[in-house]
Structure 1
């Protein structure tokens, strides 16, 4: 019997992007609806619009948090 290497998920263009709703972002950041929409309006947090639905790519939320942490560390 031979051992097989574990299969790792492929990363890259074929991997679907996780899109978050505003309520999901509210929960993750522990912010209210108005605060999240202010971040979107001022383009501090990037989003896309699908019809009338606003979605935030998960990597954009991660980048936003990382940037804020870097700013706090530099201050």
Structure 2
């Protein structure tokens, strides 16, 4: 079962809306990397993020988009 399916199951059980933005720590957990690595990906522009009121946030679809790009790069070689 993927992370998305687990999150969907939790959201369905709690009747809450799925998050649109993730904290850097949440994005790091999705990618199974550390916080420092996640900030490095953000700093290099590989992982999309934005500032919201001075807080760094990652769009919920950005980790999947990052992985899709990495997979495409690997297959292109």
Q: CA RMSD in A?
A: 1.7
Q: Cα deviation per residue 1:10-49 (whole Å; 9 max; x = unaligned)? A: xxxxxxx711111111111111111100111111111111
How many matched pairs? 60
Mark the runs of 5 or more structure 2 residues left unpaired by the alignment: 1-18
Moved over 3 A (4+): none
1:60, distance to aligned residue in structure 2 (A): 2.0
User: 1:60 & 1:50 partners in 2: Cα distance?
Assistant: 16
Structure number with greater Rg is 1
Give the conservation status (yes or no) of the 8 Å contact 2:31–2:63: no
Structure with greater helix percent: 2
Which residue matches 1:36?
A: 38
TM-score, L = length of structure 1: 0.69
Q: TM-score, normalised by structure 2?
A: 0.68
